[in-house]
Amino acid sequence: MLVTILSFAVVAGVIITIHELGHFCAARITGMRVKKFSIGFPPKMFTKKVGETEYSLSWIPLGGYVQIAGMVDESLDPEGVTGAPNEFNQKNFFQKVFVLSAGVMMNYLTAFLIVIGLTLVMGVPEIGTSQIGEVIEGRPAQQSGLLSGDKIVEVNGETVATWEDVIRTISAAEDTLYLTIVRDEARVAFVVPTMEITEGDSTRRVIGIGPAIDFRPAGLGDAVAQSASFCYTTTVGLVGFIGDMVTGKGSLEQLSGPVGVAKLSGDSARQGPGAFIFFIAFVSVSIGFLNILPFPVLDGGHILFVVIEAVIRRPVPIKAKLVVQQIGIIALVLLVLIVSYNDVVRIIAN
């Protein structure tokens, strides 16, 4: 439990700080006055005012905020709009979009640099053979006695040589698998029950194993390519997931909230520093992507207001912004409560 709490604090602290620092730096670069810079949500743990900005560290590590003068944000403070030249609403379209998207850009940049660093240190991961690298606790494989390091050579009488062969044969199996593995140069037979998991609109059979991963040395070019591929494929996967949610193919049960992320933080920390740092990169991309969605309260919602104002050539009334922000806050809180409940149910069930 302590590992989970500490690892979640590190993941949340790093990603939130980087995201909000992006907004903060962009605001200062464009000449906007920053009223508050907070990591976490109240109650406040520590507060110090330096110049015109109040810096805070708060107890609830579920986000943060940079309050910019002249901007109607989640603080719901309409009194901050006075028309001074250093306020958000007095800047041009490109400056506003730059400030609002800077947090997302920092999240992606952080993930990009993390994966480059990991690749240079560890190498490029490659999955070649049918050797088991991970046996998930509590799943059929572990309960049947399979171990990390076992090499699967037959599944239901069919010879397998690669991990793709293993996945294909297990996914197409019925309730029971007959495996032949090589352990300490001896062939051993196992009978392993399968279990069904559902992802989106597809259901497949699994037994709870992961492949052995080898790493080949990588140069800077390999590292950059690997990192770019990671950011791209992760984003494409998130786009597909959101698409499934919109079209009804997905469900809220597939979402993870703070509780789920905390559990995954602890799991990755127990796997070692490399897995934990890589998890930070994955969450950083995920948070960046979600924040750019055109939803009230999120960065994408604020950008949508800026675009609307540019099209209609006049400001959206402050009262309208406040109503939309309030609706967004309520919807977001409800969503967090729902996915957190699902996280707890999922953890208890497993």
pLDDT, tens digit, for every residue of 217-243? Answer: 989 999 999 999 999 999 999 998 888
Low-confidence ranges of the chain (pLDDT < 70): 73-81, 198-203, 252, 349-350
What are 262's two structure tokens?
Answer: 């905390």
pLDDT at 24: 95
Nearest one of 233, 212, 242 to 112, comparing CA atoms: 233
Sequence-separated (6 or more) residues with CB below 8 Å from residue 236: none
Consecutive H or E run containing 191: strand 186-193
pLDDT at 93: 94
Nearest one of 320, 333, 267 to 4, comparing CA atoms: 267
Consecutive H or E run containing 338: helix 318-349
Q: Is the dihedral of CA 263, 266, 268, 274 positive or negative?
A: positive
pLDDT, tens digit, for every residue of 89-134? Answer: 889 999 999 999 999 999 999 999 999 999 999 998 888 788 998 8
Tally helices (H) and strands (E) across the chain: 9, 12
Kindly report the length of the chain: 350
Active site residues: 20
What are 286's two structure tokens?
Answer: 């995920």
How far is it, in rounded angstroms, from Cα 262 to Cα 280?
12
Burial class (CB in 10 A: 0-12, 13-18, 19+), 259: buried
Indicate the pTM of the whole model: 0.83
